[in-house]
A and B are shown apart, each in its own frame.
Chain A
Amino acid sequence: DTAVSQTPKYLVTQMGNDKSIKCEQNLGHDTMYWYKQDSKKFLKIMFSYNNKELIINETVPNRFSPKSPDKAHLNLHINSLELGDSAVYFCASSLSGLSYNEQFFGPGTRLTVL
C-alpha cells in the first residue's frame, strides 16, 4: 500500500497554462507539506497544512494555491505556469508538525514548462 501518493508523476505543459498536482496520504497523519526541488536538487518548503489549516506559506507566488479538502489530501494548483516553475514537486506528510515526527515523502511530480 502506497503511504503518500502523488499524481501525475510527470507533467509537461506550456507556459501560461493552469495545472494541478494531487497528493493523498493513507497514514492518518495530521500534517502535509509541499516541497519544490529545483534543477540543482535543492529542496525547499512551499506549504504545510495541519488538519486542513494552512500553517506555512513560504513566500510562494500567489499563482500557487494549495487546497486541502480533508486531512488526507493536499492538492497544489498552479496558475499561469512559468518556465521557472519547472521542478520536481514533492508532497510529504507527518503525524504532526512537531520536529520529532518522521516525514514520509511521495514519489514526486516532475513538472516541465515549455
Chain B
Amino acid sequence: KNEVEQSPQNLTAQEGEFITINCSYSVGISALHWLQQHPGGGIVSLFMLSSGKKKHGRLIATINIQEKHSSLHITASHPRDSAVYICAAHNTDKLIFGTGTRLQVFP
C-alpha cells in the first residue's frame, strides 16, 4: 500500500461540473503539495498547504491534518483542466507522491 493514496484514479466530467480529487496519506507531513501534469508531460505546482484551505482561481485545496486527508476541488471545470493531478506529502526532506488522478473534461 502506498504511503500516499489518491482517488479516483481516473475521472471524466462534462464541462462545467464540480470536480473533487481526494488524497489520503499515512506518513507524518510538514506540508501537502498538489501538482498538475499536463498531457505534454510538464509538471507545475498548484498548491502547498499545511492547514486549512487555499484558493487559486477555480481551484481550491483543503487539508484535514487530523484525518490525514486533502482534497482538490475544481469549480466550473473546463476541457483545459484535463491533466493528471498528483498529491505529494512532504515528509522530512522529501516529497512522497500519490499515484495521480487522470482527469478528462469533455465539452
Chain A interface (Cβ within 8 Å of chain B)? 40-45, 48, 55-56, 58, 88, 90, 92, 97-105, 107-108, 110
Contacts and interface: CB of A to CB of B under 8 A. Distances in A.
Contact of A105 (B30, B31, B42, B48): B42
Chain B interface, >50% SS class: strand
30 contacts: A40-B99, A41-B84, A41-B99, A41-B100, A42-B97, A42-B99, A43-B88, A43-B95, A43-B97, A44-B97, A45-B94, A45-B96, A48-B93, A56-B93, A56-B94, A97-B93, A98-B30, A99-B29, A99-B30, A99-B31, A100-B30, A100-B31, A100-B48, A100-B50, A102-B45, A104-B45, A105-B42, A105-B44, A107-B41, A108-B42
Contacts of A98: 30
B78 interface: no
Size band of the interface chain B makes with A: 20 to 34
B27 interface: no
